[in-house]
Copies of this chain bind each other. A is one copy, B any other.
Amino acid sequence: MRDFSFEVKKTDKHSKARSGIIHTSHGEIKTPAFVAVGTQASVKALSNEDLKGAGSQVFFVNTYHLYLRPGVEVVEKAGGLHQFIGWDGPLMTDSAGFQVFSLAQGKRKTARIEGLEKDLPLVRISDDGVAFRSHIDGSKHIFTPELSIESQVKLGADIMIAFDECTFYPATLEYSRQAMERTHRWAVRSLKAAENRRLGQALYGSVQGGVYEDLRKTSAKFLSKLSFDGLAVGGVSVGETKNEMKSVLEWVLPCFPFSLPRHLLGVGEIDDIFTLVEHGIDSFDCVMPTRLGRMGTVLIKPENRGKGKITKKWNQKDFLLDLTKKDLIFDFKPIEKTCECFVCKNYSRAYLNHLFRTRELLAYRLATYHNLFFVEKLTEAIRHSIEDGSFCKLKKEWLGC
- List residues of chain A with CB under 8 Å of any chain B CB: 40-42, 44-49, 65, 69-70, 74, 77-78, 83-86, 294, 329-330, 332, 342, 346-348, 350-351, 353-355, 357-358, 360-362, 364-366
Contact = CB atoms under 8 A, between A and B. Distances in A.
B78 A350 contact: yes
Given A47-B366, A354-B69, A40 B360 contact: yes
A70 B329 contact: yes
Contacts of A353: 70
A70 B361 contact: no
Contacts of A358: 40, 42, 65, 69
B362 A329 contact: no
A355 B78 contact: no
11 contacts: A42-B360, A45-B361, A47-B366, A49-B342, A65-B358, A70-B354, A77-B332, A84-B350, A85-B351, A86-B348, A361-B365
Given A70-B329, A354-B41, A362 B84 contact: no
A70 B350 contact: yes
A47 B365 contact: yes
A42 B342 contact: no
A358 B78 CA distance: 18
Main secondary structure of the interface of A (DSSP, over half): helix
Contacts of A364: 361
A83 B354 CA distance: 14
A194 to B, nearest CB: 26
Nearest to A351: B84
A362 B45 contact: yes
| The 3 nearest A-B residue pairs measured at CB | A45-B361, A42-B360, A70-B354
A42 B357 contact: no
Nearest to A366: B47
A312 to B, nearest CB: 35
Contacts of A351: 41, 78, 84-86
A366 B85 CA distance: 13
A74 B347 contact: no
Contacts of A354: 40-41, 69-70, 74, 84
A77 B40 contact: no
A42 B358 CA distance: 10
Contacts of A78: 332, 348, 350-351
A42 B362 contact: yes
Nearest to A363: B42
A36 to B, nearest CB: 13
A146 B167 CA distance: 66
A362 to B, nearest CB: 5
Nearest to A362: B42
A357 B330 CA distance: 38
Contacts of A83: 332
A355 B78 CA distance: 15
Contact of A47 (B42, B65, B362): B362
A364 B46 CA distance: 11
B365 A86 contact: no
A70 B330 CA distance: 10
Nearest to A65: B358
A347 B46 CA distance: 13
Nearest to A87: B346
Contact of A346 (B40, B45, B86, B294): B86
A329 B85 CA distance: 13
A48 B350 contact: no
A294 B360 CA distance: 12
